[in-house]
């Protein structure tokens, strides 16, 4: 027998056992619930027969009935639903069979004087027992046969012995009832089996779907963990590369090496964009990006987009125009700008010549934005896949070295602001992406640029790339503690902040040595720490240092850890965080602005 056949036989056997168990459970529940009626029914026969027939006949029948009711109770309550199903069904069959046999013996013991009235009374009793039993035992044919034959066979014997006294229309009706009961039991038993089999198949299918869902969830978690771990391990050296490259001044490099360093910076900047794309995915997965409902003007946004992207487009001889009415809208400007940044950057990458047009429109009192280009276009096959993570078309792979996350991030950010994306594209002609937002266009009375919702997300820190000019002059001899277990990064931070005019204190990452290392430090103005530091993390070190100095020293976590759970943790703990790799100017900018705000 092949493996497939063995599997099929195994499934059929399992299904058969499942059906039998369901039948047993139903019949057992009915048998227990009808125990009271089983005891009460013989007692009701006392006033009918005790004084109307010979005493010994009634006493013998009542004794037999009492005995079988006790045996029935013993057999029914001996059934263990966790035990062997077929053995339990046999016990139940014996329990119901001996009970109906006692009722069947009533034909020979209770119907004494053979009067039509006496006959009809017991016929009614017999039919009542039959109909009650059909409710509980017709789901299983063998159980119903065990129930009905002991009840009807004594009646047939009675009819054979006393046929000359029988009321034959009633007897024929009893035969017909017996036949119909057997037929109904056969049909109902098959119907029950089909119903239970279907439920078994549905439950099996549901369990398979649930298992596949669990596998899918586990795979998604594993993917997120892999991205976070890989991102962390790659971000660490990239952070050092960023800082050391930025420490090179143009006057420190010989001309023959200047172009090489500039090319290195361009490549590093491209890697930074890839890491930031991974970070955006992690933040969205962690649901740590808040949506701000604020009133903002379209004009400054148009200017910002032109200032950033026109020089990039000009390098490829592409015309970039940003058009829109002089209006204000209510919505999240930052998230909309991030969506447009990705779309415009994408358009520039995949456009060799022609133009890119960004147009803001008012449609039904809501803001709608279109990004149109004359690029290579998107094929019909690719159009259904462009918003998937890590998708890169084979047709345009050579034009861009990214990770394939740009449009996936656009789609996720659009979902955050409840916007709809519509893509219209033709290969070789160009692409138009339409963003239909729920941003309401403001009337003149709503023109103040104020944050309506008042939401904030402290785990997300704006990292404006504006350089800090002469930070040493603004805050001379500021004391900063640096906690980092990567020696290369530690040296890079040391050089960075010494060059900026800080007095740097390198804190050991062994927690037991922390107190001794702080003894020679009079005070600290700022703490800069990595997050992952062996057994302890940066939060633990920051809190310990604050306790040693008994002061709420300003602190910043620089981390390469972009796992969604940690992003969420930072948000919950209200911790300032910057994610590696980050430019040295951005680090100094944040530290300088923060120190300026408290002095």
Of 90, 36, 99, the residue nearest 67 (C-alpha): 99
Share of the chain above pLDDT 90, in %: 8
Parse the chain into domains and list their residue ranges. 9-209, 248-289+458-599, 294-446
pLDDT at position 436 over 80: yes
Q: What's the rounded mean pLDDT across residues 200-229?
A: 75
Backbone angles phi, psi at 167, to 5 degrees: -85, 95
For the chain, the residue count is 599
**Stretch among 147-151, 164-168, 236-240, 516-520 having the lowest mean pLDDT:** 236-240
pLDDT at position 586, please?
79
Give residue 488's pLDDT band: very low, low, confident or very high (50, 70, 90): confident
Average per-residue pLDDT for the chain: 77
d(CA 379, CA 403): 19
Cα–chain center distance at 250:
51
Give residue 471's pLDDT band: very low, low, confident or very high (50, 70, 90): very low
pLDDT at position 171, please?
80
- Residue with the bigger pLDDT between 248 and 76: it is 76
289-303 pLDDT, tens digit each: 667 788 989 888 888
Cα→Cα distances 399→351, 372, 384, 393, Å: 9, 19, 20, 10
**Stretch among 49-58, 464-473, 507-516 having the lowest mean pLDDT:** 464-473
pLDDT at position 56 over 60: yes
pLDDT at position 405 over 70: no
pTM value? 0.41
Bridge partners of 319, per DSSP, are 355
- Residue with the bigger pLDDT between 419 and 170: it is 419
pLDDT at position 238 over 80: no
Q: Which tokens in the block code for residue 496?
A: 């960075």
294-446: same fold as 248-289+458-599? Answer: no
pLDDT at position 68, please?
92
d(CA 495, CA 178): 101
pLDDT at position 63 over 90: yes
pLDDT at position 122, please?
83
Give residue 235's pLDDT band: very low, low, confident or very high (50, 70, 90): low
Cα→Cα distances 381→377, 395, 426, Å: 12, 11, 12
- Residue with the bigger pLDDT between 484 and 280: it is 484
d(CA 355, CA 300): 22
Of 496, 491, 525, the residue nearest 506 (C-alpha): 491
User: Which overall architecture, per CATH, does domain 294-446 show?
Assistant: 2-Layer Sandwich (3.30)
pLDDT at position 153 over 70: yes
Q: Which tokens in the block code for residue 125?
A: 């009793």
CATH topology of domain 248-289+458-599: Rossmann fold (3.40.50)
**Stretch among 91-95, 165-169, 341-345, 517-521 having the lowest mean pLDDT:** 165-169
Q: What's the rounded mean pLDDT across residues 126-152?
A: 87
Cβ–Cβ < 8 Å for 369, 436: no
- Residue with the bigger pLDDT between 380 and 126: it is 126
Give residue 455's pLDDT band: very low, low, confident or very high (50, 70, 90): very low
Q: What's the rounded mean pLDDT across residues 365-382?
A: 84
**Stretch among 191-200, 228-237, 287-296, 329-338 having the lowest mean pLDDT:** 228-237
- Residue with the bigger pLDDT between 19 and 277: it is 19
Cα→Cα distances 309→306, 520, 567, Å: 5, 50, 30
pLDDT at position 562, please?
66
């Amino acid at each position: 027998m092949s493996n497939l056949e063995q599997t099929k036989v195994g499934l059929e056997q399992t299904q058969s056992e499942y059906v039998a168990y369901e039948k047993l459970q139903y019949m057992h529940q009915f048998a227990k619930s009808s125990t009271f009626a089983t005891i009460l029914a013989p007692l009701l026969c006392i006033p009918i027969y005790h004084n109307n027939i010979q005493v010994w006949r009634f006493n013998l029948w009542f004794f037999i009935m009492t005995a079988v009711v006790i045996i029935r109770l013993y057999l029914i309550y001996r059934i263990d639903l966790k035990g062997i199903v077929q053995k339990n069904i046999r016990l139940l069959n014996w329990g119901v069979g001996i009970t109906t046999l006692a009722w069947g013996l009533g034909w020979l013991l209770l119907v004494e004087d053979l009067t039509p009235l006496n006959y009809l009374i017991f016929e009614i009793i017999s039919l009542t027992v039959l109909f009650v039993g059909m409710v509980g035992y017709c789901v299983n044919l063998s159980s119903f046969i065990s129930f009905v034959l002991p009840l009807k066979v004594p009646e047939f014997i009675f009819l054979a012995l006393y046929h000359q006294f029988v009321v034959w229309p009633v007897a024929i009706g009893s035969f017909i009832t017996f036949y119909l009961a057997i037929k109904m039991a056969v049909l109902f038993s098959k119907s029950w089996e089909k119903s239970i089999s279907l439920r078994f198949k549905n439950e099996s299918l549901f369990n398979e779907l649930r298992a596949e869902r669990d596998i899918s969830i586990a795979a998604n978690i594993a993917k997120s963990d892999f991205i976070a771990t890989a991102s962390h391990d790659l971000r660490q050296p990239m952070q050092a590369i960023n800082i050391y490259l930025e420490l090179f001044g143009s006057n420190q490099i010989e001309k023959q090496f200047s172009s090489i360093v500039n090319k290195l910076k361009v490549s590093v900047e491209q890697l930074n964009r890839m890491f930031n794309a991974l970070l955006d995915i992690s933040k969205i997965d962690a649901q740590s990006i808040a949506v701000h409902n604020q009133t903002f003007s379209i004009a400054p946004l148009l200017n910002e987009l032109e200032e950033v992207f026109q020089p990039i487009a000009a390098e490829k001889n592409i015309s970039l125009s940003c058009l829109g009415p002089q209006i204000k809208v209510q919505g999240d400007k930052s998230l909309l700008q991030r969506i447009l940044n990705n779309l415009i950057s994408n358009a520039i990458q995949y456009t060799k010549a022609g133009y890119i047009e960004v147009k803001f429109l008012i449609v039904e009192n809501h803001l709608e934005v279109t990004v149109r280009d004359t690029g290579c276009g998107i094929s019909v096959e690719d159009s259904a896949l462009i918003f998937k993570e890590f998708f890169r078309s084979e047709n345009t792979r050579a034009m861009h070295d990214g990770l394939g996350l740009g449009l996936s991030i656009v789609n996720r950010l659009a979902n955050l602001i409840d916007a709809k994306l519509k893509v219209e594209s033709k290969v070789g002609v160009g692409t138009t992406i339409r963003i239909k937002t729920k941003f309401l266009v403001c009337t003149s009375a709503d023109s103040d640029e104020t944050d309506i919702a008042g939401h904030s997300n402290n785990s997300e820190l704006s990292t404006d790339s504006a350089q800090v000019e002469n930070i040493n002059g603004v805050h001379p001899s500021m004391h900063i503690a640096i906690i980092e277990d990567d020696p290369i990064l530690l040296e890079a931070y040391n050089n960075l902040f010494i060059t900026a005019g800080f007095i740097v204190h390198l804190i050991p990452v062994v927690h037991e040595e922390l107190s001794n290392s702080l003894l020679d430090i009079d005070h600290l103005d700022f703490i800069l720490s990595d997050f992952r530091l062996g057994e302890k993390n940066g939060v633990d070190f920051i809190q310990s240092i604050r306790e040693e100095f008994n002061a709420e020293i300003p602190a910043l976590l620089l981390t390469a850890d972009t796992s969604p759970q940690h992003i969420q943790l930072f948000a919950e703990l209200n911790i300032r965080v910057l994610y590696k790799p980050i430019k040295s100017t951005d680090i100094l900018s944040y530290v300088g602005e923060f120190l300026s705000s408290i002095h």
